Structure 1
Amino acid sequence: MYITVEDFIAEWNKEAGLTQGVLDGLTDEALGQRVYPEGRTLGRIAWHLTANIPEYLTEFGVPVEGAGDSNEVPSAREIAGTFRTNVAAAADAIRKRWTDDSLKLTQNAFGRTESNAMILMGLIKHIVHHRGQLTVLMRQAGLPVPAVYGPSKEIWARMGVTPPL
């Protein structure tokens, strides 16, 4: 749980940086990759987690200028660039709108009463959840997967190590 706004911002920047590495590895050709025929595409998931940042925070009283039409999936480069912009705008908006005491206040979040600190944690968990989906789809699309919480297959290979099973 976050006690201060700066606690959240530190975690936000760390997790956003890991996600940025994943998004920077996307290609336009891979954006159509699906797990199953009716499932979301890699591009749809990447754009969803990007466009959702301002939507999510605005819903909870922190207006954030952000991505345009969330129904149109742009290029891989635009997704990565917009994510970078939305992450910075979110941090700036939270610093301007909420204080450390604001994190203790509660509001309705998806049918539950949650503290603002928990709502912010939910935003990070949302991004982490979808980042995991993206790495699987990247692997299926034949893209190299960057290290997230530890070395990926590609990083192990560069280190000259056979990855553990």
Structure 2
Amino acid sequence: MIKQALLGEFLHEAENTRKLLKAIPDSALEWKPSEKNWTTAQLASHIAEVYNWYEDTFSKDVFDMGTYHYDKGDISKSDNIVGKFEENFAKAHEVLNNWDDSTAMNEWRMEMDGNVIFPPMPKIQVVRGFLFNHLYHHRGELVVYLRSTGNKVPGLYGPTADDNSF
């Protein structure tokens, strides 16, 4: 039951992520709002990467960032970032489909070199906070990046100011 609810949200929100990533023109990839922020390409790549975390989140009780390695690929083209998203999404979808949700209350934590960096909590809380909500947060940032570079924003939960029906 829990898995089916998560799967429905996952599929709906992955489509929104796909629309948002496809809206990024190559001309906006190097833009960033300040020296402290990521470029658009780095932010978009991070959004795609979140889907790569599903395996370690769903199948393990400890996610060791000290041993985690990720090849983001060539992020100099939007199509490459979308391609990486599609690759990671397919793997994440398979992981979620095959998840035994009887482990939803198992304690999970994130560590790096033996130090706890994400405190122990039930796996279901991690899925909602670390995977889902974390992703939505970064998508919101990406919407601001698109607006700030004069680009159109696709409707994620209904029409946007770019929709002609307004």
Write the mapping of 1:32-43 to structure 2, written as runs, cut at 5 A.
32-43=30-41
**Corresponding residue to 2:48 among 47, 50, 58:** 50
Secondary structure of 1:107's aligned partner = strand
Amino acid at match of 1:86: N
Q: Distance in 2 between matches of 1:84 and 1:60?
A: 19
Q: Distance in 2 between matches of 1:115 and 1:146?
A: 34
Partner of 2:139: 131
Identify the structure with the greater strand proportion. Answer: 2
Secondary structure of 2:38's aligned partner = coil
Q: Contact 1:22/1:145 (CA < 8 Å) preserved in 2?
A: yes
Partner of 2:125: 118
CA RMSD after TM alignment? 2.2
Write the mapping of 1:53-132 to structure 2, written as runs, cut at 5 A.
53-54=51-52, 56-60=53-57, 62=59, 69-70=71-72, 73-96=75-98, 98-109=99-110, 110-122=117-129, 123-132=131-140
Q: Contact 2:45/2:75 (CA < 8 Å) preserved in 1?
A: yes
Partner of 1:20: 18
Q: Contact 1:33/1:140 (CA < 8 Å) preserved in 2?
A: no
Q: Contact 2:30/2:41 (CA < 8 Å) preserved in 1?
A: yes
Show structure 1 runs of 4+ deviating over 3 A.
Answer: none
Q: Distance in 1 between matches of 2:70 and 2:77?
A: 13
Encode CA deviations 1:2-54: one digit per residue, 9 max, x unaligned: x5212111111111111111101111111111111332111100001112321
Q: Distance in 1 between matches of 2:118 and 2:36?
A: 28
**Corresponding residue to 1:143 among 135, 151, 154:** 151
Taking structure 1 as the reference length, the TM-score comes to: 0.81
Equivalent residues, number: 151
Structure 2 CA distance for partners of 1:153 and 1:61, relative to 1, 3 Å: closer
Amino acid at match of 1:107: W
Structure 2 CA distance for partners of 1:115 and 1:74, relative to 1, 3 Å: farther
Taking structure 2 as the reference length, the TM-score comes to: 0.81
Secondary structure of 2:108's aligned partner = strand
Identity of aligned residues (%): 24
